[in-house]
Chains A and B, each alone.
Chain A
Amino acid sequence: MGDDENREPKTTYREAMREALREALRADERVFLMGEDVGRYGGCFGVSLGLLEEFGPERVRDTPLSESAFVGAGIGAALAGMRPIVEIMTVNFSLLALDQILNNAATLLHMSGGQLPVPLVIRMTTGAGRQLAAQHSHSLEGWYAHIPGIRVLAPATLEDARHMLAPALADRDPVLIFEHGSLYNVSGELLPPTASVDLDHAAIRRPGTDISLITYGGSLSKALGAADELAAEGISAEVIDLRTLRPLDDAAVTASVARTHRAVVIDEAWRTGSLAAEVSARIAEGSFYELDAPVERVCSAEVPMPYARRLEEAALPQTADIVAAAHRAVD
């Protein structure tokens, strides 16, 4: 990813996601996009640029800055047979809609004894790295992965950004898609869709035999960078991209650890109570006798994300941290 050569047409993560939205809007008239600045402005991060002109204000619908009302309205519209795609600017803002997501979207099917599925897609950005400070930078997707009744996706590649939306819309239950803000400008050649793009399976982004680097979303490129460095030292690292944070693909993690006998979990969220904690616990539960070393974790420092560049970099998991954790496990 991010290769600078010019020989093939490049696509950005942003364009891949936009094309997925365009395809969805064209394919099904029940689909509409709703959220903060998605229309006139073209999307807070430019993802929906041009869609208003193509599909009109009924289907590309600007909302007031009232997360609870427009997320709840998405749930109601889904109950009534529409297929809304709701965009929230950042995961920090989604907390204002947490009541609707948890108490309604995730819960209605069960509370109603199976009568009320909620076929809704909610997209939002997550993560740090752009000096946006503490209220625009956190990684709270692990909190959402805690909740039964919803599916949580974290597309890390161009292909997943392009091809995960359609199956997400086909799902009868609420699907949350977390797009790491630092990914939008990543460009590369978009590979044709393959059978490997689905919502149930983790992906092996790089095979290896000595250690498993298990991650997702914005940390994938750092894990791949770490694998490059380790390879130069003769350590063969396998990189697992979880892709779906709920339900977790336990089998992929177990199989990888069975091959490598060592694991580092990389998660941009805080370590305490994180998705990394969940993955580590599952490795301990399911692969304990496969392990040749304790599971290592690389997470963000336990601090609200600082603005200052140097501090932000220090707070985030970096390639060097992953390499160091791998060394602790291997040595």
Chain B
Amino acid sequence: MSVARTTRTRKDPASPKSGKGTAAKRRKSGPRVGPPGTGRRTDQLEAMLRIRRFEERCVELYSAAKIRGFVHLYIGEEAVAVGVNQVLTPEDAVVSTYREHGHALARGITAEAVMAEMYGRTTGCSGGRGGSMHLFDASRRFYGGNAIVAGGLPLAAGLALADRMRGQANVTCCFFGDGAFAEGEFHETANLAALWKLPLLLVCENNLYAMGTALERHEAQTDLAMRAASYGMVSWAVDGMDVEAVEQATRRAVEGIRAGTGPHFLELRTYRFRAHSMYDPDRYREKGEIEQWKSRDPVSLLMDRMRDSGELDDEEVARIEQRITDEIDHAVETAEQAPEEPVEHLLHHVTSGPAEVVS
């Protein structure tokens, strides 16, 4: 029953069937969720670029002390968020980690709402109480940012359980990193989900580092897909730098889950080009290693592929970049002007009833 396919997916995925220029014509504005049309590749490119440019702006804003706290950048891993989210429907649920800007944007939460959250403003997607690590959007079933490694996994199992008990065909997708493999919660959840055949998609973003500790220094067995398969779930290892490979693997997994075959596990092999967080001096990685992974930059990979097939030219790239720049400019501008929550509201949202009075 358990199928462990730990081979990498092919480098050249399905031959593109979309013709030249069709992508741009079918474009809708803004990020989207759900099955892509023929505009798939352009959508993917724009969604990945949006994440990257958003985070590059975050770096500037952090340096200017406009945003604070722990900020964990996703740069280099954009193909995972975009490829996975393209397959999910609005009814599906997503549980994420503290490295979640990419997941949130790919899920369709606007740059405006995420940026306002980074600013701690009332207009932020968590009302300013979460910040970078705790993005939420109930209307999009985005059960966001869990800053405890593996802490979101049991939660995701429960969301999947509820959907199944009520006969909903939804899938719950849980993102987590390779560091989560060292936590009991991953193993408890894998066991429970496989035992109960829950409609759960476990997406491990294996970026080779748990904070600053390399995979081979934190795991006795580094073949993560094989370990997940030991719980009796279908498990694949996938090239996480190739957005089309990610999308295809996700589509196959989600089809399997909707068909009732229980949880599926995807190990997406990826890499973060930046440090663990803005505080991290990144002394534990060789420059050469980073450069090597940058040569497989997911954005460049897709761009090159599109240029080769004639789907993309410089003008189109410039148009996409301009659109994103405008969007992020607007997000920063509105965040700067957004109201701050009055201090009198400090005790709001501790309980659902009236604010708790502590005498």
Choose among B129, B145, B155, B359 the residue that contacts A113 (Cβ–Cβ < 8 A).
B129
CA distance A104 to B185 in the complex (A): 13
CA distance A58 to B162 in the complex (A): 11
Residues of B within 8 A of A9 (CB): none
Choose among A32, A103, A117, A148 the residue that contacts B148 (Cβ–Cβ < 8 A).
A103
- Distance (Å) between the CB of B184 and the closest chain A CB? 7
- Distance (Å) between the CB of A75 and the closest chain B CB? 6
**B219 contacts partner chain A, Cβ-Cβ < 8 Å:** no
Q: Is the CB of A247 within 8 A of B356?
A: yes
In chain B, positions 137-195 with a C-beta closer than 8 Å to chain A are: 137-138, 143-146, 148, 151, 153-163, 165-166, 172, 184-185, 188-189, 191-192, 195
Residues of B within 8 A of A81 (CB): 162, 166
Surface stretch bound by A, among B28-36, B258-266, B292-300, B346-354: B346-354
CA distance A71 to B148 in the complex (A): 15
| Known contacts A32-B165, A76-B159, A286-B359, A111 near B148 by CB under 8 Å | no
Closest partner residue, chain B, to A69 (CB atom): B188
- Distance (Å) between the CB of B171 and the closest chain A CB? 13
| Known contacts A100-B154, A112-B130, A76 near B160 by CB under 8 Å | yes
CA distance A109 to B148 in the complex (A): 16
Q: Is the CB of B129 within 8 A of A110?
A: yes
Q: Is the CB of B195 within 8 A of A111?
A: no
**B39 contacts partner chain A, Cβ-Cβ < 8 Å:** no
CA distance A108 to B350 in the complex (A): 9
Residues of B within 8 A of A173 (CB): 351-353
Question: Which residue of B124, B127, B195 has the most chain A CB atoms within 10 A of its CB atom?
Answer: B127
Q: Is the CB of B165 within 8 A of A148?
A: no
**A317 contacts partner chain B, Cβ-Cβ < 8 Å:** no
Question: Which residue of A66, A148, A247 has the most chain B CB atoms within 10 A of its CB atom?
Answer: A66
**A182 contacts partner chain B, Cβ-Cβ < 8 Å:** no
| Known contacts A76-B155, A114-B349, A172-B352, A66 near B191 by CB under 8 Å | yes
Question: Which residue of A77, A80, A151 has the most chain B CB atoms within 10 A of its CB atom?
Answer: A80
- Distance (Å) between the CB of A278 and the closest chain B CB? 11
**B81 contacts partner chain A, Cβ-Cβ < 8 Å:** no
Choose among A68, A114, A172, A286 the residue that contacts B127 (Cβ–Cβ < 8 A).
A114
Q: Is the CB of A113 within 8 A of B136?
A: yes
**A73 contacts partner chain B, Cβ-Cβ < 8 Å:** yes
**B206 contacts partner chain A, Cβ-Cβ < 8 Å:** no
**A28 contacts partner chain B, Cβ-Cβ < 8 Å:** no
In chain A, positions 39-70 with a C-beta closer than 8 Å to chain B are: 58, 63-64, 66, 68-70
Residues of B within 8 A of A286 (CB): 359
Residues of A within 8 A of B153 (CB): 69, 72
Q: Is the CB of A69 within 8 A of B124?
A: no
**B88 contacts partner chain A, Cβ-Cβ < 8 Å:** no
Question: Which residue of A32, A79, A113, A114 has the most chain B CB atoms within 10 A of its CB atom?
Answer: A113
Q: Is the CB of B158 within 8 A of A74?
A: yes
Q: Is the CB of B352 within 8 A of A63?
A: no
CA distance A171 to B130 in the complex (A): 24
Closest partner residue, chain B, to A103 (CB atom): B148
Q: Is the CB of B136 within 8 A of A115?
A: yes
Residues of B within 8 A of A112 (CB): 126-127, 129-130, 134, 136, 138, 144, 349
**A290 contacts partner chain B, Cβ-Cβ < 8 Å:** no
Residues of A within 8 A of B351 (CB): 109, 148-149, 151, 173
Residues of A within 8 A of B146 (CB): 103-104
**B93 contacts partner chain A, Cβ-Cβ < 8 Å:** yes
Q: Is the CB of B161 within 8 A of A73?
A: yes
- Distance (Å) between the CB of B86 and the closest chain A CB? 23
CA distance A30 to B184 in the complex (A): 29
CA distance A74 to B162 in the complex (A): 9
Closest partner residue, chain B, to A117 (CB atom): B352
Residues of A within 8 A of B83 (CB): none
**A329 contacts partner chain B, Cβ-Cβ < 8 Å:** no
- Distance (Å) between the CB of B145 and the closest chain A CB? 8
Choose among B155, B166, B191, B350 the residue that contacts A79 (Cβ–Cβ < 8 A).
B155
**A82 contacts partner chain B, Cβ-Cβ < 8 Å:** yes
| Known contacts A66-B192, A77-B159, A77-B162, A109 near B134 by CB under 8 Å | no
CA distance A212 to B302 in the complex (A): 74
**A282 contacts partner chain B, Cβ-Cβ < 8 Å:** yes
Q: Is the CB of B192 within 8 A of A111?
A: no
Choose among B158, B191, B349 the residue that contacts A76 (Cβ–Cβ < 8 A).
B158
- Distance (Å) between the CB of A245 and the closest chain B CB? 14
CA distance A191 to B137 in the complex (A): 46
- Distance (Å) between the CB of B341 and the closest chain A CB? 9
Q: A69-B191, A111-B145 are in contact. List 18 more A-B contacts (CB 8 A).
A: A66-B184, A66-B188, A71-B154, A72-B189, A74-B158, A76-B158, A76-B161, A76-B162, A77-B165, A79-B159, A80-B158, A81-B166, A111-B130, A112-B144, A115-B138, A172-B353, A173-B352, A250-B359
B interface residues (Cβ-Cβ under 8 A, vs A): 93, 95, 124-130, 134, 136-138, 143-146, 148, 151, 153-163, 165-166, 172, 184-185, 188-189, 191-192, 195, 348-353, 356-357, 359
9 smallest CB-CB distances across A and B, nearest first, come from A76-B158, A72-B154, A113-B127, A80-B162, A69-B188, A73-B158, A66-B188, A112-B136, A172-B352
Of the A-B pairs whose beta carbons lie under 8 Å apart in the complex, a sample of 28, sorted by A's number, is A64-B191, A64-B195, A68-B188, A69-B189, A71-B154, A72-B153, A72-B189, A75-B155, A76-B143, A76-B161, A77-B159, A79-B155, A79-B159, A82-B161, A99-B151, A103-B146, A104-B146, A110-B349, A112-B129, A113-B125, A113-B130, A113-B136, A114-B349, A115-B136, A115-B138, A116-B138, A148-B356, A151-B351
